[in-house]
């Protein structure tokens, strides 16, 4: 997005010690974002405040990237039937509901159309070891993409998802056996490798550009072809 000339606004999950703000700030510093705001999606007032600032500073929004998910670590291993009620609710609230929540907040600011992109994973349609409740959350996320695409299409707002292959990140490290998953993809995928963060970013830039103006409600697999394999 930055290379394509986008004016970036970045949000982060605030915490009492400011660890997230510092970590995310250091990560995005080379991108020189014009907005850097706290946004806890479990706090409706903060979401409204965040988009209020965005509206005051920018006037309109062209692109929304929904790039957040969360599940309790104990719910990302073991038996799915042992998922706690609270853990299930948290995973779907943060990982799934937040897309509709943020899309609804961005919609009034997308006065000239726009593009919304979220990030999913193959666990939404396949049973992946230890992915458990997050697979259910991602299934709901992909369904949300379709319903939002219908709702927002009349305003020329497109909504799509990228289903990326496994990448070794801080977030993915919470999934039990993530390195085994990555090595398996390297062996089985048609390209015999995993994908990079840059490749996922390039796909997002495509979905947010006029080059994809006829695409909405879709899940684009950026996974070195792994999704097509039967065994």
Catalytic residue annotation:
121, 131
Rg (CA), the chain: 18
Angstrom distance (rounded) from CA 202 to CA 197? 9
How far is residue 110 from each of residues 54, 56, 143, measured CA to CA in Å?
Answer: 12, 14, 22
| Cα–Cα distance list, 57 to 51, 53, 99, 186 (Å) | 10, 6, 22, 44
Report the alpha-carbon distance of residue 29 to residue 12 in Å, rounded.
13
Q: Is 4 exposed, middle or buried (0-12, 13-18, 19+ CB in 10 A)?
A: exposed
Residue whose token pair is 């949300």: 144
Q: Is 211 exposed, middle or buried (0-12, 13-18, 19+ CB in 10 A)?
A: exposed
Q: Angle CA(24)–CA(26)–CA(31) in degrees, nearest 5?
A: 90
């Amino acid at each position: 997005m930055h290379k394509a000339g986008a004016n970036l606004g970045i949000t982060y999950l605030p915490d009492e010690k400011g660890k997230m703000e510092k970590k995310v700030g250091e990560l995005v510093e080379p991108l020189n974002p014009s907005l850097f705001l706290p946004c806890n999606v479990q706090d409706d007032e903060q979401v409204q405040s965040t988009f209020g600032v965005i509206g005051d500073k920018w006037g309109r929004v062209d692109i929304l990237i929904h790039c957040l998910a969360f599940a309790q670590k104990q719910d990302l291993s073991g038996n799915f039937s042992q998922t706690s009620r609270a853990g299930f609710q948290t995973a779907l609230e943060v990982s799934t509901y937040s897309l509709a929540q943020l899309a609804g907040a961005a919609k009034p600011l997308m006065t000239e159309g726009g593009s919304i992109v979220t990030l999913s994973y193959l666990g939404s349609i396949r049973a992946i070891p230890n992915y458990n409740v997050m697979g259910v959350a991602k299934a709901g996320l992909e369904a949300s993409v379709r319903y939002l695409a219908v709702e927002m299409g009349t305003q020329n707002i497109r909504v799509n998802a990228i289903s990326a292959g496994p990448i070794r990140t801080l977030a993915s490290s919470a999934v039990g056996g993530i390195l085994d998953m990555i090595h398996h993809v390297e062996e089985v995928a048609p390209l015999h490798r995993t994908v990079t963060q840059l490749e996922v970013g390039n796909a997002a830039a495509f979905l947010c550009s006029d080059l994809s103006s006829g695409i909405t409600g879709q899940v684009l697999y950026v996974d070195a072809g792994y999704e097509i394999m039967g065994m």
